[in-house]
């Protein structure tokens, strides 16, 4: 953790681990894991789990495994595996040699399943999926036993072997644990632990046509790897009884324990992987790494930094209670990170031409500009100035009210790092739109101060026409118009924000920005923090993404 990041607050999981260490439980070891399923890209909710699991291991001088839960061959792909690795590394964590796949254990898991069958604690069920659901009962009524529940051990072993050998059709049989069909916990009502999937696996190819279920795989993978603290999100709390039952009924190499914490719920965001896939497939966004997406790839491309994400995860803490986090908390961690280290530059996003009539036509000059006003160590840069410049359209108002402190007809304003100018004439087109301003400058005010002591209240940024770099700037905003897009069970696509991105193809930048590299960050003065796009960057026409505004303007507009 860098000095700038928020110290990790104590939480109930840290207290559990500390108590375990005091009692020498697990021989004084701490071993965690991050177990993503490679069926999509990781999102900001996964970042919380990554920071927690790797952070706990680091704090207690333990280990954290990266384990891919690849038990569903129909949805998984090596593309997702590689993206997950890249995301974890980008966040600043390293699993070293501790990289595993659930598929590494398929042979062992099959033997564990045979052991349960031999103990009379698992059976092959030939009910259809619909019948299994019907027989399971409801939250208020017990289930009833399958007519195949009392098959003999020998018959179950034979049928399970036939399942493995591909002699039984997909959907015609499953292997179920024999527990308690009257249990108040539906997860304990003879859960399915193996099913037939005649699909090619991204690692084991066609070796298997039966695949273990998550609840069977996960706990045994933990035990095989020597995991001490299996930390997962709160929706798995009701699955803990099954986790313990599987471990306690098999001879495993270690005894892990599961602990649950509340998942991340972030305003103006949906973190369901299924719904994120819908956004991509239906074209609401431009891929998994669209800067509006809450995927780690998306927020990275938008301009978030690893330090800001880690800081955010530290600030929100780890609890057992589901709460919604205001997205401004996430945005503020980025502002605080970039405010300290992002160099400043000037960019005009919606240009308005200004001709300084008393500045020599054939001349230009270079002015000194600080790269960071609070950090002299970041040095200075040269900004060219000439007779024709561009300012923001919003920085001029023809009939300005008294409290408008920018440029107006007859009013004086300071150009950042340059001179005082006064607007003397407004030029309009046939549609009565302002297209050009004529101004004069005071040569004595170079650097932004008047020798006679006169003051101006407004300072605006600008770019010299002769030296400007043409660019595309993308202004990203929140993907949804409602803080809770799924409130009341509505389809979150109904509240997609039609103004979630504004593309400005005619932006003009000061020439220093032409030297930017992919993922470089800058504060465009008075406008916000911007990042050089990692996908569409073109040295002939740069592309910058707005990562975050200088202030929480959304919150002010919607209060």
SS3 string, 112-151, reads HHHHHHHCCCEEEECCCHHHHHHHHCCCCCCCCCCCCCCC
Counting other chains too, the contacts that 429-437 makes at CB distance below 8 Å and 24 or more residues apart are: 434/352, 434/393, 434/396, 434/398, 435/352, 435/353, 436/352, 436/353, 436/354, 436/355, 437/352, 437/353, 437/354, 437/355, 437/391, 437/396, 437/407
230 shares a domain with 110: yes
pLDDT single digits (tens) 495-529: 999 999 999 999 999 999 999 999 999 999 999 99
Q: Is residue 5 part of a domain?
A: no
Q: Is residue 3 part of a domain?
A: no
Q: Mean pLDDT over residues 164-187, rounded?
A: 97
The pLDDT value given to residue 540: 84
Element housing 90 (H / E): helix 78-90
The answer to whether the CB of 427 falls within 8 A of the CB of 437 is yes
Q: How many CB atoms lie within 10 A of CB 386?
A: 18
497 shares a domain with 348: no
383 shares a domain with 348: yes
Q: Mean pLDDT over residues 350-359, rounded?
A: 98
The pLDDT value given to residue 6: 63
pLDDT for residue 358 is more than 70: yes
Q: Is residue 408 part of a domain?
A: yes
How many residues does the structure list for the chain?
559
DSSP per position, 223-277: HHHT-SEEEEEGGGGGGHHHHHHHHHTS--SS--EEEEEPPPEETT----HHHHH
Q: How many CA atoms lie within 13 A of 500 on its CB side?
A: 19
The 3-class secondary structure across 1-42, one letter per residue, is CCCCCCCCCCCHHHHHHHHHHHCCHHHHCCEEEECCCCCCCC
Nearest to 318 by CA among 233, 419, 395: 233
**Is 130 exposed, middle or buried (CB count within 10 Å of its CB: 0-12, 13-18, 19+)?**
exposed
Element housing 556 (H / E): helix 553-557
405 shares a domain with 547: no
The pLDDT value given to residue 1: 47
The pLDDT value given to residue 8: 65
pLDDT for residue 314 is more than 70: yes
Task: Give the mean pLDDT of the chain.
Answer: 94
The answer to whether the CB of 525 falls within 8 A of the CB of 461 is yes
524 shares a domain with 392: no
DSSP-derived pairing of the beta strands 420-428 and 434-442: antiparallel
At residue 63, the 3 state secondary structure works out as: strand
DSSP per position, 330-382: HHHHHHHHHHHHPPEE-EESSEEEEEETTS-TT-EEEEEEES-TT-GGG-EEE
The pLDDT value given to residue 34: 98
pLDDT for residue 559 is more than 60: no
Nearest to 136 by CA among 101, 188, 87: 188
Domain count, the chain: 3
User: Angle at the Cα of 298 (from 527 to 307), degrees rounded to 5?
Assistant: 70
User: Angle at the Cα of 107 (from 105 to 112), degrees rounded to 5?
Assistant: 90
Compute the distance between CA of residue 137 and CA of residue 37 in angstroms, rounded to an integer.
29
Q: How many CB atoms lie within 10 A of CB 540?
A: 7
Phi, psi of 325 (to 5 degrees): -100, 130
The pair of three-digit structure tokens given for residue 552, joined into one six-digit string:
């929480």
Compute the distance between CA of residue 465 and CA of residue 493 in angstroms, rounded to an integer.
43
91 shares a domain with 221: yes
Q: Is residue 268 part of a domain?
A: no
For residue 390, what is the domain's CATH number?
A: 2.40.240.10
The answer to whether the CB of 263 falls within 8 A of the CB of 64 is no
The answer to whether the CB of 443 falls within 8 A of the CB of 475 is no
What range does the domain containing 381 cover? 344-467
Compute the distance between CA of residue 476 and CA of residue 545 in angstroms, rounded to an integer.
7
pLDDT for residue 555 is more than 60: no
The pLDDT value given to residue 479: 96
Residue with tokens 């406008």: 527
pLDDT for residue 557 is more than 70: no
96 shares a domain with 177: yes
pLDDT single digits (tens) 44-94: 999 999 999 999 999 999 999 999 999 999 999 899 999 999 999 999 999
For residue 252, what is the domain's CATH number?
A: 3.40.50.620
Q: Is residue 2 part of a domain?
A: no
Distances (CA, A) of 358 to 203, 391, 411: 72, 18, 16
* Domain termination site, one of 427, 443, 467: 467
Q: Is residue 367 part of a domain?
A: yes
pLDDT for residue 336 is more than 70: yes
With bands split at pLDDT 50, 70 and 90, how would you rate the model's confidence at 556?
very low
Name the residues annotated as catalytic: 37, 263, 273
Of the two residues 251 and 448, the one the predictor is more confident about is 251
256 shares a domain with 298: no
Q: Is 417 left (phi over 0), alpha (psi -120 to 50) or beta?
A: left
Q: Is residue 438 part of a domain?
A: yes
* Domain termination site, one of 206, 240, 261: 261
The answer to whether the CB of 192 falls within 8 A of the CB of 142 is no
pLDDT single digits (tens) 121-174: 999 999 999 999 999 999 999 999 999 999 999 999 999 999 999 999 999 999
pLDDT single digits (tens) 384-435: 999 999 999 999 999 888 889 999 999 999 999 999 999 999 999 999 999 9
The pLDDT value given to residue 558: 44
Q: Is residue 360 part of a domain?
A: yes
253 shares a domain with 381: no
Of the two residues 2 and 141, the one the predictor is more confident about is 141
Compute the distance between CA of residue 279 and CA of residue 296 in angstroms, rounded to an integer.
16
The pair of three-digit structure tokens given for residue 117, joined into one six-digit string:
């069958």
* Domain termination site, one of 467, 492, 517: 467
The pLDDT value given to residue 5: 61
Phi, psi of 512 (to 5 degrees): -60, -25
At residue 78, the 3 state secondary structure works out as: helix
pLDDT single digits (tens) 198-235: 999 999 999 999 999 999 999 999 999 999 999 999 99
The pair of three-digit structure tokens given for residue 152, joined into one six-digit string:
């003999």
The pLDDT value given to residue 539: 79
224 shares a domain with 147: yes
Compute the distance between CA of residue 471 and CA of residue 505 in angstroms, rounded to an integer.
6
Phi, psi of 243 (to 5 degrees): -50, -50
pLDDT for residue 359 is more than 70: yes
427 shares a domain with 496: no
226 shares a domain with 159: yes
pLDDT single digits (tens) 454-479: 889 899 999 999 999 999 999 999 99
């Amino acid at each position: 953790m860098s000095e700038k990041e928020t110290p990790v607050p104590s939480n109930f999981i840290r207290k559990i681990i500390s108590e375990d260490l005091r009692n020498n439980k697990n021989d004084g070891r701490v071993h965690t894991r991050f177990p993503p399923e490679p069926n999509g890209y990781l999102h900001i909710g996964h970042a919380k789990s990554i920071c927690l699991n790797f952070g706990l291991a680091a704090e207690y001088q333990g280990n954290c495994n990266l384990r891919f839960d690849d038990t569903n061959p129909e949805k998984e792909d090596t593309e997702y595996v590689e993206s997950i690795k890249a995301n974890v590394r980008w966040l600043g964590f390293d699993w070293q040699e501790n990289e595993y796949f659930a598929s590494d254990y398929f042979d062992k898991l099959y033997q564990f399943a045979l052991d349960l069958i031999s103990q009379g604690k698992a059976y092959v069920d030939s009910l259809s999926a619909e019948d299994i659901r019907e027989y399971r009962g409801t939250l208020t009524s017990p289930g009833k036993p399958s007519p195949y529940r009392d098959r003999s051990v020998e018959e179950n072993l034979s049928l399970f072997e036939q399942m493995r050998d591909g002699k039984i059709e997909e959907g015609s049989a499953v292997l179920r644990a024999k527990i308690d069909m009257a249990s108040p916990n539906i997860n304990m009502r003879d859960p399915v632990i193996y099913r037939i999937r005649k699909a090619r696996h991204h690692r084991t190819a066609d070796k298997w046509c039966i695949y273990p279920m998550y609840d069977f795989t996960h706990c045994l993978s933990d035990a095989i790897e020597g995991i001490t603290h299996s930390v997962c999100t709160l929706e798995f709390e009701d699955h803990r009884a099954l986790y313990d039952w599987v471990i306690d009924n098999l001879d495993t190499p270690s005894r892990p324990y599961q602990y649950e914490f509340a998942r991340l719920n972030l305003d103006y965001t949906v973190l369901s992987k299924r719904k994120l896939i819908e956004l991509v497939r239906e074209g609401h966004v431009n891929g998994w790494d669209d800067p509006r997406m809450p995927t780690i790839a998306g927020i990275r491309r938008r301009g978030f930094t690893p330090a800001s994400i880690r800081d955010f995860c530290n600030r929100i803490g780890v609890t057992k209670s589901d709460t919604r986090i205001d997205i401004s908390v996430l945005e503020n961690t980025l502002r605080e990170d970039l405010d300290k280290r992002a160099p400043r530059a000037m960019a005009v996003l919606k240009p308005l031409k200004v001709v300084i009539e008393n500045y020599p036509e054939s001349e230009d000059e270079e002015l000194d500009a600080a790269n960071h006003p609070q950090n002299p160590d970041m040095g200075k840069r040269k900004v060219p100035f000439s007779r024709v410049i561009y300012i923001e359209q919003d920085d001029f108002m023809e009939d300005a009210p008294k409290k408008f402190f920018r440029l107006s007809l007859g009013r004086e304003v300071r150009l950042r790092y340059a001179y005082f100018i006064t607007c003397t004439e407004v030029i309009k087109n046939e549609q009565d739109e302002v297209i050009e301003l004529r101004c004069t400058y005071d040569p004595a005010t170079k650097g932004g101060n008047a020798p006679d002591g006169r003051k101006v209240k407004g300072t605006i940024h600008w770019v010299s026409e002769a030296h400007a770099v043409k660019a595309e700037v993308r202004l990203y905003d929140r993907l949804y118009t409602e803080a809770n897009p799924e409130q009341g069970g509505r389809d979150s696509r109904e509240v997609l924000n039609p103004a979630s991105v504004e593309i400005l193809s005619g932006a003009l930048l000061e020439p220093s920005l032409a030297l930017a590299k992919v993922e470089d960050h800058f504060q465009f003065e008075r406008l916000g923090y911007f990042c050089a796009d990692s996908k569409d960057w073109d040295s002939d026409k740069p592309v910058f993404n707005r990562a975050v505004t200088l202030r929480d303007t959304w919150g002010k507009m919607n209060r």
